[in-house]
Amino acid sequence: MRTFAKPAIEMVDTMRQAAAADPARAIAFGGAPGSNSHQAAMQFDPDGLPLPFIGFEDALDAVSQGRAGCAMIPIENSQHGRVSDIHFLLPESGLHIVAEHFMRISHALMATGPGPFQAAYSHPQALGQSRHYLQERGIVALAHADTAGAAAYVAELKDPTFCAIAPAMAADLYGLDIIEEAVEDAHDNTTRFVVLAREPREPASIEAETAMSTLIFEVKNVPAALYKALGCFATNGVNMTKLESYQKGASFAATGFYADIEGAPGNARVDAALEELEFQTNSVRLLGSYGQARKRG
């Protein structure tokens, strides 16, 4: 589906017109109005102009093309892990991570009637975060492009046997009844978002004690390749807070890694670690340095 459901279209058009008049203030996000990304954008910059798109790639393209000043993109969830495809989309976008934002996530079950329900529409992340709730009630999970978009679609369907899992805000926007709140399986459910812009932040502008950097690197296809790469950080006293692997290409021989470290270029220990990493790997690319929104550890 490459278009919003009818109940969302008028709101989307209004938001896009406002953003077109002042693109520097626009914050692009993937999802319909009322989505978690929409709420994260409003929390991050209350004076910004939320700019909705069907998918993450469209939101990133809007920033690349100058139609938005930045994009708010979910990257990982405390309960359901990393968001699919983000590790490929971020490097391909040519954009830079300039900030991070954490948001507590709460899902509501909403519909046009009281049920019983055959199936629930939502984004795969939200369905995964509410997996036990749905299984216990025999409700089939059906994937949709985003949470609020699922709510708009259920409003358009007007079929009382279908429901949506989305933020409570979406029920207000699309005229749905909230059947039950807080249907997520873990009540400390939190999503980490990153903010991307065309220009990187200067590492010198970030307080040294709160600096974070995100990078990707591809290890050589030799024994102990990852051990040697991680040793670059260990021997220089640089703390790595996140490491995830992904395959590049169909050969399954070139493994890429996405990592977050504490510190930024300009710090002697970070500079030494990155210099050694260049020698130990096929490639290294810094995706951005930014201040911590939440202290690690």
CATH code, domain with 129 = 3.40.190.10
C-alpha R_g of the chain? 20
The alpha carbon dihedral of 234, 236, 238, 244 has a sign of negative
Q: Residue 242: give the domain boundaries.
A: 211-288
Gap between the Cα atoms of 55 and 50, Å rounded:
14
Question: Model confidence over 77-121: pLDDT tens digits?
Answer: 888 778 877 878 888 899 999 999 999 999 999 999 998 999 999
Q: Which two tokens stand for residue 86?
A: 């983000």
Q: Does 134 have pLDDT greater than 80? A: yes
Q: How many domains does the chain have?
A: 3
Contact 122, 141 (CB under 8 A): yes
Query: Mean of the per-residue pLDDT values for the chain?
Result: 94
217 a catalytic residue: no
User: Are residues 224 and 269 both part of a single domain?
Assistant: yes
pLDDT band at 242 (very low <50, low <70, confident <90, very high): very high
Q: Which two tokens stand for residue 176?
A: 């749905």
Average pLDDT estimate for 191-218: 94
Q: What DSSP state is assigned to residue 83?
A: P
Phi/psi at 295 (5° precision) = -65, 135
User: Of the candidates 58, 27, 30, 31, which has an alpha carbon nearest to the alpha carbon of residue 43?
Assistant: 27
191 a catalytic residue: yes
List the catalytic residue out of 147, 191, 214, 281.
191
List the catalytic residue out of 53, 56, 117, 193.
193
This model's pTM is above 0.85: yes
User: Are residues 174 and 216 both part of a single domain?
Assistant: no
For residue 116, say if its preceding peptide bond is cis, omega within 30 degrees of 0. yes
pLDDT at 176: 98
Inside any domain, residue 296: no
Q: Does 1 have pLDDT greater than 60? A: no
Taking the CB of residue 227, how many other CB atoms lie within 10 A of it? 11
Question: Model confidence over 4-49: pLDDT tens digits?
Answer: 999 999 999 999 999 999 999 999 999 999 999 999 999 999 999 9
